[in-house]
Amino acid sequence: MFYMAESGKTASPDTHTHAEPLRFGIMCNGWVLQAWQIKAIRLLEEKGCRPELLIFNDNQDKPPAGWKKLIHYPYNKLFYRLYLRFAHHPASKKPINIKDFFNTTEAVHCRPDRIGHSEVFRETDVIQIKEIKLDFILRFGFNIIRGEILTAARYGVWSFHHGDEQHYRGGPPGFWEIYHGNPVTGAMLQRLTDRLDAGVVLRKGHFRTVHHCWSGSIDQLFMETAHWPAQVATDIMNDVSLSWNQQPVRTEAPVFKVPGNAQMMRFVLSLMISRVRFHFDRLFRAEKWNIGIIRAPVKDILTGHTRIQPEWLLPIQPHRYAADPFAITAPDRLRIFYESYDYHAARGTIASIQVDLNSGRVSPPSTVLEKDYHLAYPYIFAVDGKWHCIPETALNRTVDLYCWDEDAGRLVFDRTLLYDVDAVDSTVFQHDQYWWLFCTRKSLSDTHLYAYYSREFTGPYQPHHNNPIKTDVRSARPAGPLLILDGLLLRPAQDCSVRYGYRITMQKIIRLTPDEFVETSAGWIGPFKGTSFPMGAHTLIDAGDHTVIDAKRYVFDGWNFVHELNRSVQGRIPPKPNNH
């Protein structure tokens, strides 16, 4: 088995399958693959899938030598080539020789016929490949392939396109999104068809573009999509319908090519400006969140039947903000729990206020839970008339359940639901016969959505059979309790595409089982332009005839400046809890 250990440790594979592990082949141009491709193969092996065949491309063009090289050199692309050689070194593309790992694996050397820009495999090669009885083939080599090779494996040939096919075809990957200032960069894993740029989508996702660092954007894009082949294989083994015969994707997006010298100069200038802006924002633009109440139900806001703006509940305090509100509702009052963040201490506590809905009076805040690590997102929910809370305790690597003690005015620890998981914004709800816990994790906390399930809300919780269930910076991270409106199960989620906590998007859950998850977009709320907090919103609470939200603006904060400066210069200060 091919496996590259990291730090002497091996990951525990998820062995839940309903079928035999799959057999796959690898198309490559030689014995060298890139680090992200190695990761994809390793993750497949952790699922029990077996690489049975290497398909080598022996149709390689040799570059011209001597004076011919000087004559044919593409001088109009000189700056791009110089940048790749001296300034662009993404870790995901590190070359790794795999000969020692595959020295006993069967191999076939092919020299396909070239028809225009396409490569068509010869019949003898296709027959030889079919005899291995592969379930799928990963394309990590060759050019545009057409013909019978596309059906040589049971589930076809799988190929990555690192870009949103509805906006960008061609390449280089991740380049033009930065060049055009696009806030997100897409990617998909597709089953190839005989039509160019018209594959069947197997997996798709979106990441926030790293405008100040092309290498960083590339590493995020390639390394974080490397698990997709293993996830598609898991769906197959779990008998999840993937609609293999669905219509291929349709796109009229322009085809991009390698940038010319003038475009490359503009690109480098854009990187420099973005890098200055990135560090300026970290030092001089601290988030200032506040909690607001809208005197209208969520349904009216979603349908556009009200334009009522929020009433802000808390006075502005230096070096502090209030975010992540959750509410216990009563006929004439709300008790709101929220994250109270202190820039001086660089951590949050859980506080509470009570709002009189008739008079609008707000009680003084009281601290109901404090630890020596950061707390946030105090998710409040009721079971059998008793109120429970799951605050974010990612820095403690636990998901803890608390009970609300009204008499004592504090949250009391009950039990730990998950151990050794740096879960962010844990959200619990009941659906069909299971209790579900949705969350993201500290690494790329705005992008990957994870799910756990249990028969009881107190656990034990098991991971979804194909985590992460979603990869999309526009709608992954939870933004509050789920809602049922007009018979639809709606999940509030954060749209962090433009910036962290940009707005709230409502996701309609279509299918949710231990093996499957499907949801679609159903509208959005915020940001609240024209108010004193116009720059974002990331929590939505249905409080009957009222709606509780939070929203933000940017200010300069001295303690934030000190912490961020120390972090940048000395690397001693951990990242901000909200993972910008």
Backbone angles phi, psi at 471, to 5 degrees: -130, 100
Listed residue (379, 357, 387) closest to 545, CA to CA: 357
Q: Which pair of tokens denotes residue 518?
A: 């499907």
Mean pLDDT of 35-56: 97
Domain residue ranges of the chain, discontinuous segments joined by +: 23-277, 285-570
The pLDDT, as a whole number, for residue 39 is 98
Range from 8-17, 50-59, 413-422, 553-562 carrying the lowest mean pLDDT: 8-17
Q: What residues form DSSP beta bridges with 418?
A: 399
The pLDDT, as a whole number, for residue 575 is 47
The pLDDT, as a whole number, for residue 243 is 63
Mean pLDDT of 520-528: 93
Higher pLDDT, 118 or 3: 118
Q: Which pair of tokens denotes residue 442?
A: 């500290």
Single-letter code of the amino acid located at 14: D
* List of residues 6+ apart from 88 with CB closer than 8 A: 214, 215
> Rounded to an integer, what distance in angstroms lies between the CA atom of residue 283 and that of residue 403?
38
Mean pLDDT of 256-260: 96
Alpha-carbon distances, residue 565 vs 41, 173, 288 (angstroms): 40, 32, 19
Per CATH, the homologous superfamily of domain 23-277 is Formyl transferase, N-terminal domain (3.40.50.170)
Average pLDDT, the chain: 92
pLDDT band at 251 (very low <50, low <70, confident <90, very high): confident
The pLDDT, as a whole number, for residue 294 is 96
Mean pLDDT of 235-252: 82
CA dihedral defined by 112, 117, 118, 124, rounded to 10 degrees?
-20
Is residue 580 scored above 80 in pLDDT? no
Which percentage of the chain shows pLDDT scores above 90?
83
Mean pLDDT of 172-180: 97
Higher pLDDT, 268 or 8: 268
Where residue 40 falls (left for φ over 0; alpha for ψ -120 to 50; beta otherwise) is: alpha
Residue 381: burial class (beta carbons within 10 Å; 0-12, 13-18, 19+): middle
341-360, pLDDT tens digit by residue? 999 999 999 999 999 999 99
Range from 251-255, 272-276, 455-459 carrying the lowest mean pLDDT: 251-255
pLDDT band at 536 (very low <50, low <70, confident <90, very high): very high
pLDDT band at 5 (very low <50, low <70, confident <90, very high): very low
The pLDDT, as a whole number, for residue 10 is 27
- 3-state class (DSSP) for residue 423: strand
Residue written as token pair 């050397």 = 109
Mean pLDDT of 34-52: 97
pLDDT band at 117 (very low <50, low <70, confident <90, very high): confident
Listed residue (35, 54, 142) closest to 102, CA to CA: 54
Statement: 285-570 belongs to CATH 2.115.10.20: yes
Q: Using an 8 Å Cβ cutoff, are 39 and 226 in contact?
A: yes
